[in-house]
Structure 1
Amino acid sequence: MWYLYGLTILAGLANAVQPGQNATLSKSLGLPITAALLTLLISTAALLVGGLAIGKLEMPSGQQLVQVPWWAWLGGFLSVLLILAQLYASPSIGAASFLGIIVTVGVAASIVLDNYGWVGFAVHPASLWRILGAVLMTVGVAMVALF
């Protein structure tokens, strides 16, 4: 299980670097929507090659497809939203403010999702300490954005 923490750390680093890469691609091409599409195509190709290489790429059955909750299909739209924010917002507000806002809003929203067990998460009550942590993160991000 320790490797999952390593994977998460790498994802955090990627989350900090990716907005700059995607914004530079957009600026270099002068075509933001095309840059977003290229980013998603490269992601798809990487998943395809990786899935084939490790033998984990399979087609779901019709029964599996119909068992998926309706809201689970919307994750792709959220990926597009994140990429568009990277292309348009991150160059203007900077890496630290952008990532701070993304992470802090994500933590605050996650506390609500955990508290109610929404979108497939196990229930983890929104304790005073969890809420205080989110408040402190908000104060920290405000300081990063303002100074």
Structure 2
Amino acid sequence: MWYLYGFVLLAGVANAVQAGQNGALAKSFGGSLSAGLVVAAGTATCVLLVGLASGKLTLPTTAQVLEAPWWAWFGGVLGGGIVVAQLMVARQIGAAPFLGMLVTAGVVASIMLDHFGWVGFERHPATLWRIVGGLLMIGGVALVASS
């Protein structure tokens, strides 16, 4: 199971690199949103190919579609918002502040999601150490963004 942590680390590196790639594409196209459509097509192609290669790509049944909570359908919209932020903001503020703020905001929000058990997460209390960790991340990203 340790390899899963390695996969997450690689995804974090890819997230930083992707912001630059997406920004360069937007600059080349002369428009951020048209580049976003290319990114979305690349994302869909990647998921399709991995799904086909792994044999894990299945279509949901009608019952599964109806069973999904209403808020679960907006994950793609949130993912699109992240891509739009990469396209429109990352180049202007730099990779380190952009990704630092993105990750830190995600961790702070995740502490709350875990604590209250929102959007399908199991409840994990916001302990003192989790809160201190979130505050340290806020301080760290403030240092990265200010220099």
The structure 1 segments of at least 4 consecutive aligned residues displaced by more than 3 Å after TM superposition are none
Query: Where do residues 76-115 of structure 1 align in structure 2 (5 Å cutoff)?
Result: 76-115=76-115
- Tell me how far apart the structure 1 counterparts of residues 57 and 104 of structure 2 sit (CA, whole Å): 33
The equivalent residue for 1:8 is: 8
Does 2:124 match 1:118? Answer: no
- Tell me how far apart the structure 1 counterparts of residues 15 and 46 of structure 2 sit (CA, whole Å): 17
Q: How many matched pairs?
A: 147
Root-mean-square deviation (CA, aligned residues, Å) is: 0.7
Tell me the amino acid that sits aligned with residue 104 of structure 1: T
1:54 deviates by: 1.7
TM-score normalised to the size of structure 1? 0.97
1:3 deviates by: 1.5
1:6 deviates by: 1.1
Q: Deviations over 1:87-142 (max 9, x none)?
A: 11101100000000001111110000000010111111001111111111111111
Tell me the amino acid that sits aligned with residue 128 of structure 1: L
Does 2:68 match 1:68? Answer: yes
Does 2:32 match 1:32? Answer: yes
Q: Percent identity?
A: 54
- Tell me how far apart the structure 1 counterparts of residues 111 and 54 of structure 2 sit (CA, whole Å): 34
The equivalent residue for 2:58 is: 58
1:46 deviates by: 1.3
Query: Where do residues 13-24 of structure 1 align in structure 2 (5 Å cutoff)?
Result: 13-24=13-24
Unmatched tracts of structure 1, length 5 or more: none
Does 2:133 match 1:133? Answer: yes
Tell me the amino acid that sits aligned with residue 137 of structure 2: M
